[in-house]
Amino acid sequence: NLIYDGILKAAKELSPLAVSISVAEFDRSSPDSFLDNAEKLMADKPDAILIAPVLPAASRVFLAKHPKLDYAFIDSPLPDTHPISTIVQNPFRGGYMAGRMMHLLSPEGGTFITIQTHKAAFNSLERARGFNSYFANKPTYTMVELEMQLTDGGEESLEKAYRDYTDLRGIFVVNDAVHRIANFISLLGKKNRTTIIGYDLIDQNRKAMLHNKIDCLISQRPNFQGYTAIYQLYRKWMLNQIPERNICVPIDIVLLENLIDNDSYCNIHNT
Span 157-203, pLDDT tens digits: 888 999 999 999 999 999 999 999 999 999 999 999 999 999 999 99
Residue 196: count other Cβ atoms within 10 Å of its Cβ.
27
pLDDT confidence bin for 261, thresholds 50/70/90: low
pLDDT at 118: 80
Instruction: Return the SS3 of 171.
Output: strand
Task: Report, as an integer, the average pLDDT of 205-230.
Answer: 95
Phi, psi (rounded to 5 degrees) for 97: -65, -40
pLDDT score at 148: 84
Instruction: Report which of 163, 165, 63, 151 is spatially closest to residue 113, judged by C-alpha positions.
Output: 165
pLDDT for 266 equals 45
Distance in angstroms (rounded) separating the CA atoms of residues 93 and 133: 10
Overall residue count recorded for the chain in this entry: 271
Distance CA(217)–CA(203), nearest Å, equals 12
Is pLDDT larger for residue 76 or for residue 98?
A: 98
- Using DSSP, state whether 253 is helix, strand or coil: strand
Q: Which helix (H) or strand (E) holds 161?
A: helix 154-164
What phi and psi values does residue 22 have, to the nearest 5 degrees?
A: -115, 145
87 near 72, Cβ under 8 Å? yes
pLDDT tens digit sequence for 99-145: 999 999 999 999 999 999 887 889 999 999 999 999 999 999 999 99
Nearest-Å Rg of the Cα atoms of the chain is 20
Confirm if 126 and 91 have CB atoms less than 8 A apart: yes
Q: Could you read off the pLDDT of 72-85 as tens digits, one per residue?
A: 999 999 999 999 99
**CA–CA dist 6, 238 (Å, integer):** 19
- The residues facing 196 across adjacent strands are 171
- What region, left, alpha or beta, does residue 33 occupy, with left being phi > 0 and alpha being psi -120 to 50 degrees? alpha
CA distance 184 to 93: 28
- Note the pLDDT of residue 239: 87
* Under 8 Å between Cβ of 248 and 88: yes
Assign 267 a pLDDT band (cuts: 50, 70, 90). low
Q: How confident is the model at residue 269 (pLDDT cuts 50, 70, 90)?
A: very low
Burial of 12 (0-12, 13-18, 19+ CB in 10 A): exposed
Q: DSSP letter for 55, please.
A: S
Spatial contact of 11 and 230, defined as CB atoms under 8 Å apart: yes
